[in-house]
């Protein structure tokens, strides 16, 4: 047994015991006795959900093409006053080492967040549970770290869109972390460790918490639904498509170099991507008052199974030219899938990887709920910006959503063994 397997064994996800414990509440406590016995070492093996580990090292950071997990945290930090490049190096080293350990199912060994402390006990019984930790840099980070000449050409402020209602306190940031896992305690444990390690170097700017459907909740694997009840993500680009990498990942070779400057100022972005993060509130009360047929017309897909209104099944290519017998367009002119389609936007493509959120209710009872939208692309100008300009002016769905926060981050390529994320930027 490898050391990693031993550590995972020590952090078992007692899914079977947990199910028995739930039953025990109804029949008099037998489940509690089983759980106690399991804790003594006779427990079943980790379920597939708990035992799945996503490698931390690689050409790309995990959490981009990784299937979206059941829970997630999006967190932005600002460097503390007086903190600079050396402090950022120390922090990224610590963050990367802890992320590598936790994604493998091990407790981080950093002395400030030792597994012997309270923070190390949160996910004690669980395996890695598909944990991913993804790091990015905001535009404001570069001048603070003395890296003006390393700002990628694609990392420009997003333009203002007419329907935006952005809260600057929940937008932007110097540093960004995306955490995803299929166990809420594993995700929170990672969040807690990384926040503690930032103390003295970076301060929390904003945090958003989200969720998706839990693996195994449906009879067969299915595309997830959003809080409007619509199947969401059918038309996402697939890694198997021949031009996927060119549209989603930066080449790192598009730098603003001059003949007398050091070669390729953007080489550190090789294998990286750009993440647009938007908190999009869904106006659910207004949406729920629409008849289902009207909802389907707004989206352009059947609510029951996600099939396009032009016919077929969920995965049938949308026929934007299909005409109904009465002469109307099968996919309405302002339907979301028409306005967002690459064919309507000069081929612009994004990899959407979102979480739903619910942050309670406003005083009038309106739900504060919607989508934590994360879109990945090789260049935001030819991805998100191009598509959002079209959506903002012509998408029927705009009447039922509101963009309330916004950020853009340069997410470097993955770290190789022995490296930390961002090393090629910070030590170039």
Active-site positions? 232
**Residue 325 CB neighbours (<10 A):** 5
What residues does 204 pair with on adjacent strands? Answer: 77
Task: Please give the distance of CA 234 from its chain centroid, rounded to a whole number.
Answer: 17
Query: Which single residue is written with the structure tokens 């009465």?
Result: 326
Number of helices and strands (H, E) in the chain? 13, 9
Whether 76 and 407 have beta carbons less than 8 Å apart is answered as yes
71-79 and 175-181 beta bridge pairing: antiparallel
Q: How far apart are CA 327 and CA 322, in angstroms?
A: 10
Helix (H, G, I), strand (E, B) or coil at 170: helix
**Closest CA relative to residue 337, chosen from 302, 384, 312:** 302
Backbone angles phi, psi at 77, to 5 degrees: -125, 155
Task: To the nearest 10°, report the CA torsion of 275, 281, 283, 287.
Answer: 30
């Amino acid at each position: 047994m490898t050391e990693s397997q031993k550590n995972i064994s020590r952090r078992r996800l007692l899914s079977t015991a947990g199910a028995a414990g739930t039953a025990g509440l109804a029949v008099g406590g037998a489940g509690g006795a089983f759980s106690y016995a399991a804790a003594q070492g006779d427990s079943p093996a980790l379920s597939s959900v708990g035992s799945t580990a996503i490698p931390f090292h690689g050409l790309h950071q995990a959490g981009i093409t990784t299937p979206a997990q059941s829970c997630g945290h999006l967190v932005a930090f600002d460097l503390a006053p007086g903190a600079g490049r050396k402090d950022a190096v120390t922090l990224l080293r610590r963050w990367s080492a802890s992320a590598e350990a936790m994604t493998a199912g091990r407790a981080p060994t950093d002395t400030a967040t030792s597994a012997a402390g309270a923070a190390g006990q949160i996910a004690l019984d669980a395996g890695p549970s598909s944990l991913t930790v993804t790091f990015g840099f905001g535009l404001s980070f570069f001048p603070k770290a003395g890296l003006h000449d390393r700002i990628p050409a694609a990392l420009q402020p997003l333009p203002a869109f007419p329907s935006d209602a952005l809260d600057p306190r929940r937008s932007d940031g110097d540093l960004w972390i995306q955490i995803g896992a299929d166990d809420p305690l594993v995700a929170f444990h990672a969040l807690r460790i990384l926040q503690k390690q930032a103390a003295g170097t970076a301060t929390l700017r904003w945090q958003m918490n989200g969720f998706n459907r839990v693996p195994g909740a449906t009879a067969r694997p299915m595309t997830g639904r959003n809080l409007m009840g619509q199947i969401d993500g059918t038309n996402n680009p697939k890694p198997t498509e021949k031009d996927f990498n060119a549209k989603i990942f930066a080449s790192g070779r598009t730098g603003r170099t001059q003949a007398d400057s050091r070669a390729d100022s953007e080489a550190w972005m090789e294998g990286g991507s750009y993440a647009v993060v938007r908190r999009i509130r869904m106006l659910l009360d207004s949406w729920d008052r629409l008849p289902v047929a009207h909802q389907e017309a707004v989206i352009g897909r059947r609510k029951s199974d996600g099939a396009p209104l032009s016919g077929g099944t969920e995965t049938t290519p949308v026929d934007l030219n299909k005409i109904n017998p009465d002469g109307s367009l099968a996919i309405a002119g302002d339907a979301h899938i028409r306005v967002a389609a690459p064919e309507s936007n000069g081929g612009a493509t994004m990899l959407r990887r979102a979480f739903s959120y619910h942050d309670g209710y406003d005083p009038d009872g309106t739900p504060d709920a919607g989508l934590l939208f994360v879109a990945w692309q090789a260049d935001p100008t030819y991805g998100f910006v191009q598509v959002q300009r079209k959506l903002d002016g012509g998408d029927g769905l705009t009447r039922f959503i509101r963009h309330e926060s916004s950020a853009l981050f340069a997410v470097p390529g993955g770290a190789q063994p022995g490296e930390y994320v961002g090393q090629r930027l910070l030590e170039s």
